[in-house]
Each structure stands twice: as structure tokens, then as C-alpha cells.
Amino acid sequence: MLLPLATRKSRRVLRRADVTPAEWSDWRWQLRHRLETVEELSQFVELTDDERRGMQLAPALFRVGITPYYAELMDRAHPRCPVRLQVVPTAAEAEVAPGEYVDPLGEDALTPEDAPCIVHRYPDRVLFLALDRCAIYCRHCNRRRLVGQESGIVARAELEAGLDYIRRTPAIKDVLVSGGDPLTLSTEKLAWLLGELRAIEHVDILRIGTRVPVCLPMRVDDELCAALKRFHPLYINTHFNHPKEITDEARAACAKLADAGIPLGNQTVLLRRVNSDARVIEKLNRELLKMRVKPYYLFQGDPVTGTDHLRTPVGAGIEIMEHLRGRITGLGIPHLVIDAPGGGGKIPIGPNYVLGAGASEWTLRTWRNQTVKYVEPAERDCACDYPLE
């Protein structure tokens, strides 16, 4: 899929110091002024030859788009800046490694023919793809085959088809609204969609997946929070990958959402040289908890085409989890998972604390590598006889 970069005939002013506070804090201004060209990126970083080559290749691979706010977090001189690595392409994106897929999670095969916005992997929940636009375009994106379209708009008829599918499928109890990033929709359109979903009697909870608090925190305003409060129980999972992304603005955005009664979780993707070190994940998770954001998932990178250079060995994630256990509160320990290629769903992985399982006792190890015995109870009947209502 060819995703053309916008061309610019004249230099745009994009830095915070060069615009008014009103412009900088306007989320629509931020979206209109996303960095998409070498000239624009050069206002923020000293591009390497590898990055310049990546920008040349990008139109045939995956769109570049970085909000000025997020661009200001990049280290101008250091090419391994963890923010820069997430959004500035390199030549390695053009390489296809063994085991990589255009659609790594097999979502297209899980989409009903008459409901193109729906991905139905698990019996009781669906993914609702509400739009094809994000505030920024992450180089590790597992849905790069879909997102980054010029308009980002999904036709109303397709949204209605998705709603109809959920209405006629009573097994669905949980709807995750994603895309693209749902919080880049207008408040009016997002409220309409959530209202239609909340009106479906068998839908118990709604969830939103978003990176807006990370890269466009000014979007989380009073109007948005007042709208979201109407649709409880509503949960939001965001996507912080590095402590450098946790700014005063990000803290304020998460505080507004939490104060609106919305439980917040975080889904971190393990990325080589971004956060592939236990110290980075520990610091990130401590900072998240201070913002009332629960570390929820730590994802092994999905094997999407062109991302081999960003993915970590599975063992790196297991070592990180080994470090976290016992050194940070259980609230700060996420689930380490691999989302199975081909659509098999999330597979939890991690250190093995079971050394042996016998008929009467188990042999376990602690986080300090001490061996302990756990004696099984004499009674084994675990049936629950009291009737459920």
C-alpha cells in the first residue's frame, strides 16, 4: 500500500517557541502540523544518513507523522533517543525478515464480511476499528497496512455495519474501540459511537485503546472527559513505552481521565534499544503508577513487516519480568504476552517459578531464587455448589 507523504512548498513553523500558547495547546493545530518531511524533521533533530534514507523509503512503506509536541521530546543529537527511535524511520524498515507478516495477528481473516470495522477473535469481545488515523505513526505499528490514510475517516455505513454485527451477536460483552486512535475523532462523533454501543443491552463494558495521552495530551480536555463519563463502565488503555514520554502534560491528561472515573491501564511494547532494559521498564512502571495508570501488558513486538530491527528476543522480556518480581509492587508488574501470529490470541509468558509438581507437594522458587515447598491440601474436591444467579 502506498501512503504518500504530504509535500510542503515552504517551511512551516512547528516549534513551541515559535507559536502562540493557544496554537500549541490546540490539539487540532497539532494534528494539522504533524511533521512529515525531512525539512520539518530537521527543525527538531540532526538526521543521520540512515534516517534520511528511511525518509526517502517511507512513502512506499508506512506514513510518517509526528505531532510537534511529541517531536519536542526527541533528543536533537542522539540517534538512539527512545522517542526518536519510535517515530523516525530508518532504512531497515525496507527489509523483510523471516517470520514477518503484513497482517501479523491475522485480523483480516477474523473480520466478518458484512462488518469491515470488526475483528472478532475471542467469543465474548470484539475489536471495533473506528478510524484509520493516529496522532503519530509508530514505526512498530502492527496495523500499518490499514492506518495512515490521508483522511483517516471510516464511512458511516461501515460503522453502522459494525454496530449491527454487535447488536445481533449477544455473546459479545466487551467492545474495544481502537483503530487508528479513537481519541483523534471529534468529541461529538466519539460520543455518538460510544452511545450506540452503550445502548446495546448485552454489552457490559467499553474500552478505548489510545496513544493520545502520550503524543497529544492536550486532546484530553474538559469537554472530552465530560463526554466519556456518560458511558461507564468505560476503561482506557494507553501506550507509554519510555519514561521520557511522561511529561507534565501527559500527567495532566491522565489525571483528567482518572478524575472522570475512568480506570487507566498501559500497554507497553518491548522495543530494542528503546525499553529493552529492566531498569527502563521499572522506572516507567513506577511513574505510571504515580499517574494512576496500571501497567497492564508488556507486549513482545508483533512480527509485522519491516520491524525486525526493533523487536527483542523473547528472552529479553523474560529477564525483565524476572527483575521486576520482588522489586516493585505487584501493581507495577504487567502481563508479558506474545500475541500469537495468525490470530491465535495472547499467550502469557514469563519466568518459570515451578521446579517440580508432585502428588502431595509442589517445589517452587522465590524471586530470590530460594527453593520452597508448598504442601497440597488433603481435600481436592473444588466444586462450587451454590447456584449462580
Distance CA 172, CA 203 (A): 6
**Residue 138 is a catalytic residue:** yes
Distance CA 289, CA 271 (A): 21
Distance CA 327, CA 9 (A): 53
Annotated active-site residue in 63, 121, 211, 219: 121
Residue pair 363/373 in contact (Cβ under 8 Å)? The answer is yes
Parallel/antiparallel/unpaired status of strands 125-129 and 174-178: parallel
**Residue 382 is a catalytic residue:** no
Annotated active-site residue in 138, 215, 225, 254: 138
The values of phi and psi at residue 283, to 5°, are -65, -45
For residue 6, how far is the Cα from the chain centroid? 25
**Residue 244 is a catalytic residue:** no
Tell me the HSE value of 198 on the side-chain side, using a 13 A CA sphere: 16
Annotated active-site residue in 34, 143, 144, 256: 143
- Helical packing angle, 156-167 and 187-198, nearest 10°: 20
Annotated active-site residue in 117, 134, 225, 254: 134
Q: Which three cell numbers stand for residue 305?
A: 513487516
Annotated active-site residue in 26, 52, 122, 198: 122
Count Cβ atoms below 10 Å from residue 295 Cβ, excluding itself. Answer: 23
Annotated active-site residue in 34, 63, 84, 125: 125
Distance CA 37, CA 35 (A): 6
Q: How far is CA 365 from CA 234, 334, 350, in A?
A: 38, 20, 14
Annotated active-site residue in 103, 132, 181, 339: 339
Distance CA 270, CA 314 (A): 10
Q: In what order do the strands lie in the sheet with 354-357?
A: 354-357, 361-365, 371-375
**Residue 302 is a catalytic residue:** yes
Annotated active-site residue in 53, 292, 325, 346: 346
Residue pair 296/237 in contact (Cβ under 8 Å)? The answer is yes
Distance CA 40, CA 261 (A): 39
Annotated active-site residue in 81, 141, 225, 254: 141
Annotated active-site residue in 132, 181, 302, 308: 302
For residue 215, how far is the Cα from the chain centroid? 12
**Residue 235 is a catalytic residue:** no
**Residue 167 is a catalytic residue:** no
**Residue 63 is a catalytic residue:** no
**Residue 144 is a catalytic residue:** no
**Strand, helix or coil at 336?**
strand
Distance CA 149, CA 131 (A): 9
Residues classed as catalytic: 121-122, 125, 134, 138, 141, 143, 302, 339, 346
